[in-house]
Structure 1
C-alpha cells in the first residue's frame, strides 16, 4: 500500500466569500495555508502563515508580490480558502504539496524549487531537534 497526500488532505477549514475588500478581522488567527481565488475560481496565490489574520494585514499594507498587491487593491479576490494546520511542519508540507502538485498553484506564486523548500524544511528540522 502506498501513501498519497491527496488521500489525507481535508476540505478547507474555512471558505470565505469576499464582497469587495478583504477584511482581515473575518479571518482566523490560526496557522495554516490560504488560497486566493478570483471570480472565475482561478487560483491567484497560495500562501502560508503562522497567523493568517496578521498575514493578511501584511498583504494589505506591504505585499512582497507587486502583481498580487495589484489584484488585492483592484478587489479581484473573491474567495479565500483556508486550511488550518496544527503545526508549522504541517503548514510547510501542505503549501508545498498544493503548489507543486498543481492543485492550487497560483499564477502569482513565485515558483518553488525543491532546493528552496528542502533548505527551509532542513532548517525547521534542525530547529526542532535543537541543532541551532
Structure 2
C-alpha cells in the first residue's frame, strides 16, 4: 500500500509503496483516504519541533474518505459511506471524559502524533470517529 512517510529528518518525506495494509479490527472501519489537510501541527512535526513516537512515521490527521471495510461490531451498511475522520480518540472512561472534557483525556489517541496518521491510501479508524458526510 502507498503512504507518505517521514523519517525524522527535518522536512524529509518519501512515498512508500510497501506500507502495511490496514485491517478493520473490532469496532473499526477501513477508510480509503480521498483527501488530507496539512496544518500547523503537521508542519511542526515535519520541521522537527515535535517528535513522533518512532520513525519511519506516517503523518497527517485531517482526512476524509470512503469506508471500504468494517470490523466486528460495525454495521456492514457503513461500507461505501463518505466520512470525515475525527482525529482525536478519547477513552470515554476517565474522569475528564466523563466530565465532557475529552480534550483533557490522559489516554487520548492523537492521529498523526501518538498513532500513525492518515497520509496513506487506506487507514483503520474507530467507527465511532468516522463521521458520515453528504456526497
| Same fold (TM > 0.5) | no
Bigger fraction of residues in helix: 1
Q: TM-score, normalised by structure 1?
A: 0.27
Structure with greater strand share of residues: 2
